[in-house]
Amino acid sequence: MPRETTAAKQARARKILDGLQHAYPDAKIALDFKTPLQLLIATILSAQCTDERVNMVTPGLFKTYPTAQALARAKPAKLEKEIRSTGFFRAKTRSLLGMARALVERHAGEVPRDRDALVELPGVGLKTANVVLGNAFGLNEGVAVDTHVQRLSRRLFLTEETDPEKIERDLIAVLPREEWTRFALLLQDHGRKICKARKPECAICPVADLCPSAEV
């Protein structure tokens, strides 16, 4: 498509946001949690795994390890068995144990409300930090770029980047800060229901008229 000015892209992004909010008024994070620690654990487990599978595993996990202190004391072999069905269970066990021990040692067992402090925890990248800050604390510190956000933001020509950090930078530049967390949730819903990876359903897409990739 022709190059857009920043102002034009901001205006289009706002219209996309409004269209998706109308289509998905109840959009929310798919991971089940009650505390910031639970969301942090669930988000780490969600890498290369469906949210549905994570939600099957976490109730027992949260009951067994209700605090960072309890998780930090977990036996690696036992934890591996408990999270095995989420895939990459050895790497995730290392991340969970490292994260929990760091929380105990650096933050008195509490999940910090600071993005820099979060990404310094083992197993926590920018996406995970943004998910926790936005959904557990209500803080819009960034846009959580998962596979749906990455794919749809490129289809919508809100970015031409492929690197998640660069995609986040481009989205931040065109979206109101107070909508950063919600926009990611809306794209995730839209990506699951209509703008699917293999065959997007452009004919019923609520923002097709704003999407340069739409085949209608």
- Predicted local confidence at residue 2, as pLDDT: 66
| Structural fold of domain 36-136 | Endonuclease III; domain 1 (1.10.340)
Examine the pLDDT at 138 and tell me if it is beyond 70. Answer: yes
Q: Is 40 left (phi over 0), alpha (psi -120 to 50) or beta?
A: alpha
pLDDT above 70 (res 153): yes
Using the predicted structure, report yes or no on whether residue 215 has a pLDDT greater than 90: no
Q: Which tokens is 193 given?
A: 């229901």
Q: Which residues does the annotation mark as catalytic? A: 127, 146
Q: For the segment 103-131, what is each residue's pLDDT rounded down to a tens digit?
A: 999 999 999 999 999 999 999 999 999 99
Q: Is residue 75 scored above 90 in pLDDT?
A: yes
Mean pLDDT, the chain, integer: 96
Which pLDDT value is given to residue 3? 81
For residue 33, give the DSSP letter: -
Please name the CATH architecture into which domain 6-26+143-210 falls. Orthogonal Bundle (1.10)
Is residue 192 predicted with pLDDT exceeding 80?
yes
pTM for this predicted structure? 0.93
Residue 2 has a CB neighbour count (10 Å cut-off) of 5
pLDDT tens track for 140-150: 999 999 999 99
Contacting residues for 82 by C-beta, under 8 A, at least 6 apart: 57, 60, 61, 64
- Measured CA to CA, the distance from residue 51 to residue 13 in angstroms comes to 27
139: pLDDT confidence band, cut at 50, 70 and 90?
A: very high
The domains of the chain are located at 6-26+143-210, 36-136
Kindly tell me the sign of the dihedral angle through the C-alpha atoms of 147, 126, 35, 74: positive
* pLDDT score recorded for residue 118: 98
Q: How far apart are CA 216 and CA 211, in angstroms?
A: 10
